[in-house]
């Protein structure tokens, strides 16, 4: 049985999640977009991070990530330093403002996740995760 409402449900879920995060972060005021949030979080959790690490992790175009890094540097969220392990690359790290944003992102994610899980049992959450993992695998296999 195929339920045509599944794509609509997935879209509504993702859209609601993004709206909740944008609202909680005041993203428009800060000039943050989805990829800024993902990259700031990634850089914060990877102490020796290069732009190429971001390209590989998110499977994004090098030019797109280069523009994003340039934008984050212009906003004083990220700085580049020479990579002592590889002279051809530079390490990305968060500035104090970038660290403040990363903390705000983590706090907002915590609040949004808590709200998302409201009225759901542990079993329902485990089942959601199980089914979602299968769907992600199916879609990943499609793109290979």
CATH number, span 5-137:
1.10.10.10
Where is 59: in which H helix or E strand?
Answer: none
Torsional class of 83: left (φ above 0), alpha (ψ -120 to 50), beta (otherwise)? beta
Domain ranges of the chain: 5-137
Summarize pLDDT for 112-135 with one digit per residue, the tens. Answer: 999 999 999 999 999 999 999 999
pLDDT of residue 3: 60
Q: How far apart are CA 130 and CA 87, in angstroms?
A: 43
Coil, helix or strand for 91?
strand
Q: How far apart are CA 5 and CA 30, in angstroms?
A: 35
Q: Enumerate residue ranges in the chain where pLDDT < 50.
A: none
pLDDT of residue 35: 92
- Tell me the pTM: 0.81
Unique residue bearing structure tokens 């340039």: 70
Count of helices and strands (H, E) across the chain? 7, 3
Residue 40 CB contacts under 8 Å (≥ 6 apart), including other chains: 72, 77, 78, 94, 98, 101, 102, 105
pLDDT of residue 99: 96
pLDDT of residue 29: 82
pLDDT of residue 31: 85
């Amino acid at each position: 049985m195929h339920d045509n409402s599944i794509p609509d449900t997935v879209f509504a879920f993702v859209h609601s999640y993004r709206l909740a995060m944008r609202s909680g972060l005041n993203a428009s005021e800060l000039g943050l977009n989805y990829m800024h949030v993902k990259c700031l979080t990634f850089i914060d959790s990877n102490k020796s991070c290069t732009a190429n690490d971001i390209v590989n992790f998110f499977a994004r175009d090098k030019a797109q990530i280069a523009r994003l890094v340039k934008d984050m540097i212009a906003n004083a969220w990220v700085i580049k330093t020479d990579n002592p392990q590889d002279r051809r690359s530079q390490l990305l790290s968060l500035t104090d403002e970038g660290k403040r944003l990363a903390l705000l992102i983590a706090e907002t994610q915590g609040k949004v996740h808590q709200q998302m899980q409201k009225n759901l049992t542990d079993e329902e959450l485990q089942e959601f995760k199980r089914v979602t993992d299968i769907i992600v695998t199916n879609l990943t296999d499609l793109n290979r």
